[in-house]
């Protein structure tokens, strides 16, 4: 069986760490199974959907290296939903309801006040044809509900949560279509999963009760004759897995998602490899490590490692992984983002000091200059003056210079190295001087030492 997964965002905003994690895990499941990862744009909500967000979703997935093997848009599949709806209506599995939002809210409050679950009472099913006609004559357009079958429990083996069992009588018949004819999430999603041949749905645990409802929808749609040649043979519904939601270090993460969007992370200099490395294992029993090799991450992907506890997202962890990832990146992967003139030797020298690629510009300035003059004690000025005179250029000018000065002055450790670093770079810390000095060049190095000696 070919593994087919899907990521189905609504284009009402930018991707954030929560749905990036969902997309990533579906992509990894497809890649590990040698299958296909599909992008489905759930844009049936015309009022809230924006084309700019459709483009942003595509761009963000491409930047993360999670490009899909195919794309569908719900807004161009309305005829398919209409056909499925008519099939279910003919089979008696959808029915019209006429309560207003205020009436439904009052019913829920009464039930809660009596200590009962706020489940829809199916009053619409008791209406006669004459009562329905009277409602519509009054101009009341119906919304439509899917009629759950109460004859047996709904069960499935969840890839993360294990055996799941729901009593359908404890669930409300879900509204699948609004009075204006527009669609809610439930039915189009089930229709698409059948028609697109989706074999595995991996999503957040907040969808568990939705899954219980949709399992009955899958059965009703199949019974009504809806199937696709792409569907897995004899598969009543996709395999479902519901992963724990992300929380922040201080609790719920949802309030902060705006600042954790893909675009914001990119602007902060977070590498896509770091986001992938962190989110790939967050919430699993596997250690979060700065692994830039996607193949290694895919190889260890296993739903059996996913935990039930909330997955804690810590920005400090992301920064740590990002820094470690940058320290691994080869020159060829970053060359087009580096300052003009910085070659492979420059990248190798400066890379260990970076937390973001953008910082390379500041560190490269130590090579290109001009550097800010630094204040030295009279003794240190005399010392760097000796260094200027002792400087000889060869394969390893830094170590040759410091060895000579150590022998001639008796200095060692910090008193030997720090005045030289300050004179040559204007900073008390930074890249390895053995790598940096050859990049500065003999003439410029001697000039900097002489200026520091006479300052």
Q: Is the dihedral of CA 164, 29, 265, 324 positive or negative?
A: positive
pLDDT, position 333: 94
Q: For the segment 227-237, what is each residue's pLDDT rounded down to a tens digit?
A: 765 554 467 89
How far is it, in rounded angstroms, from Cα 133 to Cα 94? Answer: 17
Q: What's the pLDDT score for residue 262?
A: 87
What pLDDT shows up at residue 248? 82
* Annotated binding residues: 255
Name every residue whose Cβ is closer than 8 Å to that of residue 92 and which is 6 or more positions away in sequence. Answer: 147
CATH of the domain spanning 369-454: 1.10.10.350
Helix (H) / strand (E) containing 41: strand 36-41
Please report, in angstroms and rounded to a whole number, the separation of the first and last CA atoms in the chain.
76
What does the alpha-carbon distance between residue 80 and residue 40 come to, in Å, rounded to a whole number? 15
Cα 201 from chain centroid (whole Å): 17
Chain centroid offset of residue 173 CA: 33
* CA–CA separation, 14 and 258 (whole Å): 8
Q: What is the mean pLDDT of residues 169-190?
A: 96
Q: Which two tokens stand for residue 395?
A: 């394969």
Kindly state the DSSP code that residue 11 receives in the 8-state scheme.
S
Q: What percentage of the chain exceeds 90 in pLDDT?
A: 88
- State how far the Cα of 112 lies from the Cα of 117, in Å rounded to an integer: 6
Question: Of all helices (H) and strands (E), which one includes residue 60?
Answer: helix 51-64
Whether omega for the bond prior to residue 370 falls within 30 degrees of 0, making it cis, is yes
Where are the chain's structural domains?
331-367, 369-454
pLDDT at site 46: 86
Count the neighbouring beta carbons within 10 Å of the beta carbon of residue 127.
17
The 10s digit of each residue's pLDDT in 269-310 is 999 999 999 999 999 999 999 999 999 999 999 999 999 999
- Contact between residue 310 and residue 281 where contact means Cβ atoms under 8 Å apart: no
What's the chain's average pLDDT? 94
pTM for the model: 0.90
What is d(CA 391, CA 420) in angstroms, rounded to the nearest whole number?
Answer: 11
Asked whether the beta carbons of 194 and 218 are under 8 A apart, the reply is yes
Residue 339 DSSP label: P
At 243, the pLDDT band (50, 70, 90 cuts) reads: very high
Can you say whether residue 441 is alpha, beta or left, with left for phi > 0 and alpha for psi between -120 and 50 degrees?
A: left
Closest Cα partner for 369 from 424, 420, 428, 433?
A: 424
- Residue 47 is predicted with a pLDDT of 87
Q: Binding-site residues for ATP, please?
A: 255
Structure confidence at residue 249 (pLDDT): 73
The C-alpha atoms of residue 254 and residue 232 are separated, in whole angstroms, by: 36
């Amino acid at each position: 069986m070919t593994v087919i997964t899907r990521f189905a965002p609504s284009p009402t905003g930018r991707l954030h760490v929560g749905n990036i994690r969902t997309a990533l895990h579906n992509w990894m499941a497809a890649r590990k199974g040698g299958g296909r990862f599909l992008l489905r744009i759930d844009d049936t909500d015309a009022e809230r959907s924006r084309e700019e967000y459709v483009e942003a979703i595509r761009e963000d997935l491409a930047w993360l290296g999670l490009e899909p093997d195919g794309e569908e848009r719900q807004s161009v599949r309305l005829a398919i939903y209409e056909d499925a709806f008519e099939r279910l209506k003919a089979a008696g599995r959808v029915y019209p309801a006429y309560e207003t939002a205020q009436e439904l809210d009052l019913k829920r409050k009464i039930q809660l006040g009596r200590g009962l679950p706020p489940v829809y009472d199916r009053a619409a099913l008791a209406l006669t044809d004459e009562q329905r006609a009277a409602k519509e004559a009054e101009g009341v357009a119906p919304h439509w509900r899917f009629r759950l079958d109460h004859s047996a429990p709904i069960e499935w083996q969840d890839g993360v949560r294990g055996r799941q069992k729901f009593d359908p009588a404890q669930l409300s018949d879900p509204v699948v279509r609004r009075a204006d004819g527009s669609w809610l999430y439930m039915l189009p999603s089930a229709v698409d999963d059948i028609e697109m041949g989706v074999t595995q749905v991996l999503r957040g645990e907040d969808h568990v009760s939705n899954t219980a409802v949709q399992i009955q929808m899958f059965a009703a749609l199949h019974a009504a004759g809806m199937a696709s040649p792409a569907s897995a043979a004899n598969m009543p519904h996709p395999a479902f897995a519901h992963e724990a939601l992300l929380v922040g270090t201080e609790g719920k993460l949802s309030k902060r998602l705006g600042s954790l969007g893909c675009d914001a992370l990119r602007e902060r200099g977070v590498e896509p490899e770091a986001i992938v490395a962190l989110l790939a294992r967050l919430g699993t029993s596997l250690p979060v490590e700065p692994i830039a090799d996607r193949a290694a991450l895919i190889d260890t992907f296993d739903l059996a490692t996913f935990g039930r506890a909330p997955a804690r997202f810590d920005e400090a962890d992301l920064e740590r992984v990002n820094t470690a990832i940058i320290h691994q990146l080869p020159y060829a992967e970053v060359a087009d983002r580096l300052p003009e003139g910085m070659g492979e030797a420059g990248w190798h020298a400066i890379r260990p000091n970076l937390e973001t690629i953008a910082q390379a510009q500041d560190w490269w300035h130590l090579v290109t200059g001009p550097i800010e003059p630094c204040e030295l004690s009279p003794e240190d000025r005399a010392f760097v003056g000796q260094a200027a005179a002792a400087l000889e250029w060869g394969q390893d000018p830094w170590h040759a210079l410091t060895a000579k000065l150590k022998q001639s002055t008796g200095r060692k450790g910090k008193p030997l190295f720090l005045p030289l670093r300050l004179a040559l770079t204007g900073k008390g810390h930074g890249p390895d001087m053995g790598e940096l000095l050859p990049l500065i060049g003999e003439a410029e190095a001697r000039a900097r030492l002489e200026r520091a000696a006479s300052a």
